[in-house]
């Protein structure tokens, strides 16, 4: 629909094949999502990304800059270190110290959320000029991709409202 710059097209491709966000389950639960379903989705997509991201990049290689490569072991290690190991550690801590986990979980997540929000704000403010340089068609394309993904997830989520919300997000 839009005559998009090459960088925007590549960005949309990368966004469409990337793994889900590690902090997503918390947001899903706040939005009324089913906690176990939300964690299942994020774990499944993170594990699947180890295979699907390199495979997708291999298929899309003709459309990408010549130097685009993905080291599968590095990708797997990144997903393991940044999401799966911390999740497993939290699950074990909750299993063996439920009292402490209950007491510390909320404050730790609150402070982590604040740090993440500050970091995101700094990145957005410092990159605002570059974001605006992409132009309105690019911004609309990213917004459209997001809306289509939400609608598709909602449509595929089945009759359970909590699962529909989780899958949509």
CA atoms of 72 and 47, how far apart (whole Å): 12
**What is residue 164's predicted lDDT score, i.e. its pLDDT?**
79
CA atoms of 93 and 87, how far apart (whole Å): 10
pLDDT-derived band at 62 (thresholds 50, 70, 90) equals confident
Determine if the pTM surpasses 0.85. Answer: no
DSSP state of 128: H
DSSP state of 64: S
CA atoms of 27 and 47, how far apart (whole Å): 20
pLDDT higher than 70, residue 1 = no
**What is residue 23's predicted lDDT score, i.e. its pLDDT?**
61
pLDDT digits (tens, 9 = 90+) for 22-49: 666 667 777 777 777 777 887 888 788 8
Q: Using CA atoms in the order 15, 16, 22, 24, what is the torsion angle rounded to 10 degrees?
A: 110
**What is residue 20's predicted lDDT score, i.e. its pLDDT?**
66
């Amino acid at each position: 629909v839009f005559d998009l710059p090459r960088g925007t097209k590549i960005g949309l491709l990368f966004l469409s094949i990337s793994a889900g966000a590690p902090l997503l389950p918390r947001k899903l639960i706040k939005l009324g999502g089913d906690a176990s379903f939300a964690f299942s989705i994020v774990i499944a997509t993170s594990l699947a990304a180890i295979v699907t991201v390199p495979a997708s990049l291999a298929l899309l290689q003709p459309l990408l800059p010549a130097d685009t490569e993905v080291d599968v072991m590095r990708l797997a290690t990144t997903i393991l270190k940044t999401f799966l190991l911390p999740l497993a550690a939290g699950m074990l801590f909750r299993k063996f110290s439920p009292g402490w986990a209950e007491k510390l979980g909320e404050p730790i997540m609150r402070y982590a959320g604040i740090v993440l929000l500050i970091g995101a704000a700094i990145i957005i403010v410092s990159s605002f000029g570059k974001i605006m340089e992409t132009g309105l068609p690019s911004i609309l394309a990213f917004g459209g991709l997001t809306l289509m993904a939400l609608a598709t997830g909602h449509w595929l989520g089945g009759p359970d409202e909590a699962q529909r919300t989780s899958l949509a997000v």
